[in-house]
Amino acid sequence: MNVLVACEFSGAVRDAFRRKGHEAWSCDLPGMEPEGEWPNYHLEGDVRLFLDGSAGPVRQWDLMIAHPPCTHLAVSGARHFAAKQASGVQQEALDFVQLLMDAPIERIAIENPVCIMSSVWREPDQVIQPWQFGHGEVKATCLWLKGLPPLVPTKIVSGRHPRIHLMPPSPDRWKERSRTYEGIAQAMASQWSEYTDLVTQMEAA
């Protein structure tokens, strides 16, 4: 399966799919140094250049998991919404999310924290927490899905520590806040791979 992980530099989701044997590539803007086990499987540039397969190593993507920037969307910054709406940056961010969901890819997941998309676009298909996937932390993450089922929790653990929320200001704080938890990345790779395989088998029968 050809998998595009949009707006990801950490490689967490990309690597989880590659461990399953998929042709998975991450993509992020220039200057975002790729990390992870397979940093060479990273596309540097605006993801819009690669969505239709006309550029890059893959002609047709089967699945995209996108992590669009939440700076102008997350409700944690609601006190700045008026200024962001007036400047147009919030609408640009919303338009980018819509562009991703409209990409010519059969299966798509859009990931973001609790944000304005729920009210001006549509409610998420699912809200997950790290503690449902083996991490004793709190960080509500919304998923908007197309052609994919909701994730099933894999390991519910005790502990409800808001580690990300309590991080002190630092130059790298945004990086730590944007990383996908390993347990969630593994669940995406495992469950959505199995679902795609099942659908393919049913269609071939």
Measured between alpha carbons, how far is 70 from 111 in angstroms, rounded to an integer? 9
Q: Does the pLDDT of residue 78 top 80, yes or no?
A: no
Predicted local distance difference test score (pLDDT) of residue 173:
47
Q: Does the pLDDT of residue 71 top 50, yes or no?
A: yes
> For 116-147, how does the pLDDT look when each residue is reduced to its tens digit (9 = 90+)?
777 778 899 999 999 999 999 999 999 999 99
Those residues with Cβ within 8 angstroms of residue 179's Cβ, 6 or more apart along the chain or in another chain = 10, 12
Q: Say what the pTM is.
A: 0.88
Banded model confidence at residue 10, pLDDT cuts 50, 70, 90? very high
Predicted local distance difference test score (pLDDT) of residue 83:
58
> For 37-60, how does the pLDDT look when each residue is reduced to its tens digit (9 = 90+)?
999 999 999 999 999 989 999 999
Tokens encoding 101: 């969901």
Q: Does the pLDDT of residue 108 top 90, yes or no?
A: yes
Q: Does the pLDDT of residue 80 top 70, yes or no?
A: no
Q: Report H helices in the chain.
A: 12-19, 81-87, 89-101, 117-120, 173-178, 182-204
Q: Does the pLDDT of residue 18 top 80, yes or no?
A: yes
Tokens encoding 149: 């089922």
